[in-house]
Amino acid sequence: MGWIVAGFAAWAVGWWANALLARLPKSRATGLAVPVIFGLTVIVMWECFVRGLDVSSVILPPPSAIAARFAASTGILWEDFVQTVVKGALTGYVLGCGAAVLMAIAVDRFPFLQRGLLPVGNFVAALPIIGMAPILVMWFGFDWQSKAAVVVVMVFFPMLVNTVQGLQSSDRMQRDLMRTYASSYWQTLFKLRLPAAMPFIFNGLKIATTLALIGAIVAEFFGSPVRGMGFRISTSVGQLALDLVWAEIVVAAIVGSAFYGGVALLEKAVTFWHPSQRGRA
Amino acid sequence: ADEVTLQLKWVTQAQFAGYYVALDKGFYEEEGLDVTIKPGGPDIAPVQVLLGGGADVMVDWLPSALAAREKGAPIVNIAQPFASSGLMLTCLKEHGITSPEDFPGHTLGTWFFGNEIPLYTWMGKLGIPTDGSEGGVTIQKINFNVDPLLQKQVECATTMTYNEYWQVIDAGLTPDDLVVFKYEDEGISTLEDGLYTTEDKLADPAEVDKLARFVKASMKGWKYAEENPDEAADIVLENDETGAQTEKHQRRMMGEIAKLTAGSNGALDPAAYERTVGIVMDGGVITKEPEGAWTHAVTDKALN
Amino acid sequence: MTRSILPILTVVAAIFVLWYGAAVWLNAAWAHDKAGRAGVELSFGELVADTWSQDKPKLPAPHQVAVELWDTTVEKKITSKRSLIYHSWVTLSATLLGFALGTVLGVGLAIGIVYNRVMDMSVMPWVIASQTIPILAIAPMIIVVLNAVGISGLLPKAIISMYLSFFPVVVGMVKGLRSPGVMQLDQMKTWNASASQTFWKLRLPSSMPYLFTSMKVAMAASLVGAIVGELPTGAVAGLGARLLAGSYYGQTIQIWSALLMAAALAAVMVALIGAIQRVTLKRMGMA
Amino acid sequence: MSRDRGDTGVTTETVISAKGLNLTFQTNDGPVHALRDVDLDINKGDFVSFIGPSGCGKTTFLRCMADLETPTGGSITVNGVSPEEARKSRAYGYVFQAAGLYPWRTIGRNVSLPLEIMGYPKSDIADRVQRVLELVDLAGFEKKFPWQLSGGMQQRASIARALAFDADILLMDEPFGALDEIVRDHLNEQLLKLWDRTDKTIAFVTHSIPEAVYLSTRIVVMSPRPGRITDVIESTLPRERPLDIRDTPEFLEIAHRVREGLRAGHAYDD
Amino acid sequence: MSRDRGDTGVTTETVISAKGLNLTFQTNDGPVHALRDVDLDINKGDFVSFIGPSGCGKTTFLRCMADLETPTGGSITVNGVSPEEARKSRAYGYVFQAAGLYPWRTIGRNVSLPLEIMGYPKSDIADRVQRVLELVDLAGFEKKFPWQLSGGMQQRASIARALAFDADILLMDEPFGALDEIVRDHLNEQLLKLWDRTDKTIAFVTHSIPEAVYLSTRIVVMSPRPGRITDVIESTLPRERPLDIRDTPEFLEIAHRVREGLRAGHAYDD
Ligand SMILES: Nc1ncnc2c1ncn2[C@@H]1O[C@H](COP(=O)(O)OP(=O)(O)OP(=O)(O)O)[C@@H](O)[C@H]1O
Ligand SMILES: Nc1ncnc2c1ncn2[C@@H]1O[C@H](COP(=O)(O)OP(=O)(O)OP(=O)(O)O)[C@@H](O)[C@H]1O
Ligand SMILES: Cc1ncc(C[n+]2csc(CCO)c2C)c(N)n1
Ligand SMILES: [Mg+2]
Ligand SMILES: [Mg+2]
């Protein structure tokens, strides 16, 4: 009972602190503090409720147990991180996003492709990842190459849709201006359409960061060498080592947020001119 | 009627024929039970379902049940319909493996999720390193099918006598193309499909009574299935909601399963239990002798 | 529309050619193996014939998949468990429910983020973190927990589906709701428009292009979610269960037919959103 | 100093009052001092024109009145309260320098937008939209989308939008910039009539000296960077102003003064 | 009919020639006949102003010349070839009615954009940008982004952009609309000098009668819906035009003619 009361108390305190902080003028410190407090509140509540309701640790371990396991397994976690994130996810992300942008440009350039390839491409890209993953593992082997392939397939569609939409987003007058310069296709592309498409492209890039991570992890469920975050998660669930599962999930969350944050920073630098960024320095 | 939910360890197939037969033939009904059977799958840890309250009884292998128990899951074996193990390692002859001494330098594929325990134990007994060091084997995690073996991504793969082995044969290979190592023959067999429930259920006499009736009816189903394998296979097919199973495969599987359940009346054989514990402890999966991991309370009641 | 037929057919034809070629390439090893064991030499013609007709090919040929699709859709009653239409419906219903929930949640969160400072500063990082959790790992736990509180059937799958689909909507809509220009916002200010008026009359209309783009991605994501959700419900029914069962028995043809069916579902849904998008934007004078 | 309305003898109240107003923008390459020490009182019923070189801060000043920009120094009140409160009580209509119509609404629905927001009854809305569109000579274009109109037509639609509702204060930023002389004359006359009829207070930015002189009771001349008020010229023209008043010596005299004031702010020596 | 350049005795060549030009827009509520039977020849070195009520088709006509709109009837040639070919050979610079600067480029880089596209050498680009920005009095604002400038400054930047490269034909759509009289006078003079120096052909839309008269060799008056040419007035003013030419009777006489032509196209009876 005490634990549960403590849980609600933590929630009240966290909310109060954030409401207070949010009223302060916006700065780097408050921008960081608010989400951190939010997160801490969630964690404290989690701990309190797991203890208070006496939840079995094979169903949901308390954060303290996860933290202890995390600290004890940094070696394994690092090895898995390198295998899954650096080799699998990043490679796939770069290849997949790159391919999608190129494809979007091609689709945008040739009406023939736009009418032919886009529907078919949409169809192919809609093949569900869960079904594709075993097949790709079969084709590309157990190591990180197949994980990268899964990521490529996964990030391709969101990237394509966003980029195609972005390339069509420059306004009438801006395009007319380029026409009067008899600007070549490529010049218009690089000087007008791509810059104007950037807000959309970054939309895609941001969504793709998390997809890349999920894709690389999930693909390991379908066959892998004996390391990798997905491998560890799937095998540890079988062994009911849920604290290790959650430690891996924490790594995934941290890496994913950092990845997303990095792309968001880049976005801020590149699309500073867009109304959604302006005035929110 | 009393409600009982059974969580299987795997998808609907002849491996679980006894339960489906008992359901279909009304054996459960006769005992005043209303039974729901939940199929499993690769992503289901039956222990979680059991502890989460989603099921009253689950089917699991003893090694993984012991591991779960050491992790703090209060689960207890109440019956053991499978007397022997169907687990084996199947290699393609062309890779030149004829005996366990030939393993070093080769790639072995296994399912994880608790199923790797016997393999690691075996390798430990043979003194073959599995950490990728010199003179050891490479272990790969494979999906629950035999494609990696057929496509030569691994040289040996874990199979069950009743299922994957026949998939290899169906793929066009003959028994002559294969070398198989049955865990049963290597003296490292562990107990497979048993029935488990939680400690607090066993503390309640009413529950024990219900479970006893459940075990009784289930064993009746198993014995019926052993005697009428083709009918049992057809019952399984009817209950397969995915519509993916084939009659040929299930009938053959039922034939193999009958060999494994033969000789069990449902009561756990303490000697086989001790052997399994020994193997699992050698493998380092559990560190201390488990206590209270099984009981005859239910089977005693059911069989008298 | 008719203008698109020829290009689509061309592309499809190209894909088929590649596909048949790839089938020969990927299945050849097995054909050679088999022939080797039987002690015969394969001529090229025989090789091709064999690679296009294997029982469990690495990559089935298109016609094999087509036959399987035909058998499991047209030839079976739709109430049969062997009918792919039945399984598609099971998956589709979870997808649609999950998509609806995901879109509502996504738009709701985006509104919160755009309008509420506390949410703007605290929620987004955690929404992102939530997406980095491998759903396949926690889907079983979600199902177990929901089961324990008595929720089963369509809803758990839809919730997993929602979990995957709300994210693209949040990201897109935050951007979209913030896309009105400074002057347009100033105008609203001079009329002292309330927050809800600014939302309905300015922010929402300007976010339409973003909304539709996000919804297309979300629809594809929810289908994946529904399929993922089907795996730990015990592979009972649905395209996910078909995929899984196909995979255990090495039935590649069955896997591919379920895959193509899923893709077709997604494509139809995405196309539907596209059609609604065109009509809406046209009526809004933005197309 | 304030102009007495013919019918009343009392001193009129101050509607907008700026004291020592300063505004500095922070930009990527240093601060821009847009307004410096601006003092000005505008009384009820005044028609004040702002004129000055491009970039001198006219728009910025108007935006300060409308609570769209926060001054970095000095004070400004509207109707005796802060610009924010005035805005909240819907005290003014604002015509922006660019038309800023919503591309997804037809012209008719663009004009009706503020009315919807302010909760005018449906029937009233249709009437008003009709009336103001006629006023700016756009009747018949209700159903068109903004990008189907010429630049000048868009500008007129945006004027109609600001006139559709009853605000006591009108802030107009070069509303007639994109219009030809004839239409402009016509709208100038209409605006004067409206002003006379409704007793609105109008702040009006323009680049046309004759327009400023023709319309205003006072003309404020500004000079650039940092924007300051260099001259405030009281019009001696009568309230009743036919178009041909523009040929009278009195008119030309005022125009000359404005031009001189304006020229002082420029660096050209021609 | 064509104006002889003082130095040569030969008849000048036709640069833009429209014959029976028609353009109808299809809109959601029926077709809009924007141009009807427009005939016009513009000769090399001409400075032609277009004036007419808002919405009469001036922009549309300019867009036809620039190959931004395809006529639905009649023919138009530029430099003896189709507008498309002329556009491809980069025959003209276009100043749009709205500034249309790219928000992601600074002012300097907005102006250098066409130069980059046309492949001017790097060093030359910097020079030219500097020169045209000085011409429009925006030196020092290279590093600012468009949204940091006032409306008039943006408009001037867009003029600078069109002047930065050497096009023989300049199409200008109300370039000085948002500028005050002094800057406008200044830019008018600069434009005339440029024209005189470079022998460009200029088509210029304006709403200001004095501006049209001051700048042009010919003034084209248009009437609205469907847009037609109602009058073409040849200027008798000399090529050399100091600002105070605007007070001469000759000037006023031409201005009067234009005003009459314009008024005929309007429906106001005041
Ligand atoms: N894209 C379009 N679709 C439909 N109608 C259009 C389109 N563009 C212009 N019009 C119509 O064509 C007519 C002429 O427009 P245009 O822009 O040429 O006028 P303008 O003479 O430049 O006017 P202004 O001086 O106000 O800029 C107008 O009635 C306008 O409504
Ligand atoms: N958002 C902004 N950020 C930075 N500087 C700005 C911003 N808005 C305006 N300025 C600067 O403030 C000064 C005054 O601008 P303002 O728009 O008030 O001029 P204006 O008098 O309206 O000119 P115009 O007649 O050309 O419209 C200009 O130098 C401009 O560059
Ligand atoms: C969760 C879980 N999944 C798979 C197996 C291994 N296994 C046991 S029986 C069987 C069916 C096919 O032979 C398989 C794959 C397991 N023990 N636990
Ligand atoms: Mg301004
Ligand atoms: Mg125009």
- Which tens digit of pLDDT belongs to each residue from A188-226? 888 888 888 888 899 889 888 888 888 888 888 777 777
Element (H, E) at D14: strand D14-27
Question: In this prediction, what percent of chain B has a pLDDT beyond 90?
Answer: 21
| Among A101-105, B3-7, D27-31, the least confident range | D27-31
Ligand 1 neighbour D132 (Cβ under 6 A): no
- Residue of B45, B167, B244 lying closest to C254 (CB–CB): B244
**Burial, C74: exposed, middle or buried (Cβ in 10 Å; 0-12, 13-18, 19+)?**
exposed
Is it the case that chain B and chain E have 3 or more CB pairs lying under 8 Å apart? Answer: no
The confidence band for D11, taking pLDDT boundaries of 50, 70 and 90, is low
Question: In this prediction, what percent of chain E has a pLDDT beyond 90?
Answer: 7
- Kindly report, residue by residue over D131-190, the tens digit of the pLDDT: 989 888 888 888 888 888 887 888 889 888 888 888 888 899 888 877 777 778 888 888
- Kindly report, residue by residue over C45-98, the tens digit of the pLDDT: 888 888 888 877 888 888 888 888 888 777 777 666 677 888 888 889 989 999
* Pairs of CB atoms within 8 A across A/B: 75
Ligand 3 neighbour B42 (Cβ under 6 A): yes
Domain boundary among E141, E166, E191: E166
Does residue E96 fall inside a structural domain?
A: no
pLDDT surpassing 50 at residue E236: yes
Does residue E270 fall inside a structural domain?
A: no
**Do C55 and C175 lie in a common domain?**
no
Mean pLDDT, residues D191-203: 85
**Do D138 and D177 lie in a common domain?**
no
Mean pLDDT, residues C231-252: 73
Residue A180 CA to ligand 2 center (angstroms) comes to 29
The confidence band for C104, taking pLDDT boundaries of 50, 70 and 90, is very high
**Do E127 and E219 lie in a common domain?**
no
The confidence band for D5, taking pLDDT boundaries of 50, 70 and 90, is very low
CA dist., res. C94 & res. C13, Å (int): 33
Are C285 and D103 inside 8 Å of each other by CB?
yes
Q: What is the pTM of this model?
A: 0.78
Are E186 and D151 inside 8 Å of each other by CB?
no
Among B8, B11, B48, B111, residue to substitute to test ligand 3 (most atoms within 8 Å of Cβ): B111
Does residue D96 fall inside a structural domain?
A: no
Q: What is the 3-state secondary structure (H, E, C) of chain C?
A: CHHHHHHHHHHHHHHHHHHHHHHHHHHHHHHHHHHHHHCCCCCHHHHHHHHCCCCCCCCCCHHHHHHHHHHHHCCCCCCCCCCHHHHHHHHHHHHHHHHHHHHHHHHHHHHHHHHCHHHHHHHHHHHHHHHHCCHHHHHHHHHHHHHHCCCCCHHHHHHHHHHHHHHHHHHHHHHHHCCCCHHHHHHHHHCCCCHHHHHHHHHHHHHHHHHHHHHHHHHHHHHHHHHHHHCCCCCCCCHHHHHHHHHHCCCHHHHHHHHHHHHHHHHHHHHHHHHHHHHHHHHCCCC
**Do C274 and C214 lie in a common domain?**
yes
Please give the mean pLDDT across all residues of chain E: 83
**Do E205 and E162 lie in a common domain?**
no
- Kindly report, residue by residue over A62-94, the tens digit of the pLDDT: 888 889 988 988 888 898 888 888 888 999 999
SS3 D158: helix
Domain boundary among D166, D184, D203: D166
Contact C156, C229 (CB under 8 A): yes
Please name the residues in contact with E232: beta carbons below 8 A apart, sequence gap of 6 or more: E40, E218, E219, E220, E221
Does residue D270 fall inside a structural domain?
A: no
**Do D144 and D176 lie in a common domain?**
no
- Kindly report, residue by residue over A148-161, the tens digit of the pLDDT: 998 998 888 788 88
The single residue listed with the structure tokens 């037969």 is: B21
- Kindly report, residue by residue over A111-137, the tens digit of the pLDDT: 777 777 777 776 776 677 777 787 888
Question: In this prediction, what percent of chain C has a pLDDT beyond 70?
Answer: 94
CATH of the domain at C204: 1.10.3720.10
Residue identifier of the C-alpha nearest atom 28 of ligand 2: D55
Ligand 2 neighbour D58 (Cβ under 6 A): yes
Residue identifier of the C-alpha nearest atom 25 of ligand 2: D54
Domain count, chain D: 2
**Do E81 and E183 lie in a common domain?**
yes
Please give the mean pLDDT across all residues of chain C: 82
Among E153, E155, E176, residue to substitute to test ligand 2 (most atoms within 8 Å of Cβ): E153
Does residue C68 fall inside a structural domain?
A: no
**Do C265 and C162 lie in a common domain?**
yes
> What is the full DSSP assignment across E53-84?
STTSSHHHHHHHHTTSS--SEEEEEETTB-HH
Res D99: pLDDT: 74
Res A279: pLDDT: 54
Closest residue on chain A to B146 (Cα): A138
> Taking CA E263 as the corner, what is the angle to CA E258 and CA E267, rounded to the nearest 5 degrees?
160
Domain boundary among E127, E147, E166: E166
CATH of the domain at E183: 3.40.50.300
The confidence band for C107, taking pLDDT boundaries of 50, 70 and 90, is very high
**Burial, C77: exposed, middle or buried (Cβ in 10 Å; 0-12, 13-18, 19+)?**
exposed
pLDDT surpassing 50 at residue C227: yes
Residue identifier of the C-alpha nearest atom 15 of ligand 3: B144
Contact E155, E185 (CB under 8 A): no
**Do C50 and C89 lie in a common domain?**
no
- Kindly report, residue by residue over A160-191, the tens digit of the pLDDT: 888 988 888 877 777 777 777 777 788 788 88
Q: Which of residues 159-188 of E touch D (CB under 8 A)?
A: 173-174, 177-186
**Do C25 and C143 lie in a common domain?**
no
Domain boundary among C59, C75, C102: C59
C-beta pairs of D26-34 under 8 Å, 24+ apart in sequence: D27/E144, D27/E148, D28/E143, D28/E144, D28/E145, D29/E143, D29/E144, D32/D225, D32/E148, D33/D225, D33/D226, D34/D60, D34/D226, D34/D227
Per 3-state DSSP, what percentage of chain A is helix, strand, and coil (rounded to 5)?
Answer: 80, 0, 15
pLDDT surpassing 60 at residue B166: yes
CA dist., res. E248 & res. D201, Å (int): 39
pLDDT surpassing 60 at residue E9: no
**Do E174 and E250 lie in a common domain?**
yes
The confidence band for D261, taking pLDDT boundaries of 50, 70 and 90, is confident
Q: Answer positive or negative: Cα dihedral of D33, D39, D43, D45.
A: negative
Mutation target for D interface from E54, E107, E137, E141: give the one with most D CBs within 10 A: E54
**Do C53 and C190 lie in a common domain?**
no
Residue E142 CA to ligand 2 center (angstroms) comes to 15
> Taking CA E220 as the corner, what is the angle to CA E216 and CA E226, rounded to the nearest 5 degrees?
155
Atom of ligand 2 nearest to the CA of D27: 4
**Do C89 and C7 lie in a common domain?**
no
Domain boundary among C44, C59, C74: C59
pLDDT surpassing 80 at residue B200: yes
**Do E160 and E177 lie in a common domain?**
no
Are C145 and B146 inside 8 Å of each other by CB?
no
- Kindly report, residue by residue over B77-112, the tens digit of the pLDDT: 999 999 888 899 999 888 888 888 888 888 888 887
Res A92: pLDDT: 93
**Do D188 and D205 lie in a common domain?**
yes
Domain count, chain C: 2
Res C285: pLDDT: 64
CB atoms under 10 Å from CB of A171, counted, come to: 13
**Do D160 and D173 lie in a common domain?**
no
- Residue with the bigger pLDDT between C55 and B157: it is B157
Residues making up chain A, counted from first to last: 281
CA dist., res. E1 & res. D102, Å (int): 46
CA dist., res. C262 & res. B45, Å (int): 27
Ligand 3 neighbour B12 (Cβ under 6 A): no
The confidence band for D8, taking pLDDT boundaries of 50, 70 and 90, is very low
Residue B87 CA to ligand 3 center (angstroms) comes to 10
Residue E159 CA to ligand 3 center (angstroms) comes to 75
Strand partners, B5: B36
- Kindly report, residue by residue over D89-142, the tens digit of the pLDDT: 888 888 887 777 888 888 998 898 888 888 888 888 999 999 989 888 888 888
**Do E240 and E208 lie in a common domain?**
yes
The confidence band for B213, taking pLDDT boundaries of 50, 70 and 90, is very high
CA dist., res. B150 & res. C19, Å (int): 22
Residue identifier of the C-alpha nearest atom 14 of ligand 3: B10
Q: What's the domain range around C149?
A: 84-283
CB-based contact, C4 to chain A, within 8 Å: yes
Q: What's the domain range around E145?
A: 102-166
**Do E178 and E234 lie in a common domain?**
yes
Q: How large is the angle between the packed helices C154-177 and A194-219, nearest 10 degrees?
A: 150
Please give the mean pLDDT across all residues of chain D: 82
**Do D67 and D176 lie in a common domain?**
yes
Helices and strands (DSSP H and E) totals, chain E = 8, 9
Residue D214 CA to ligand 4 center (angstroms) comes to 21
Res A28: pLDDT: 67
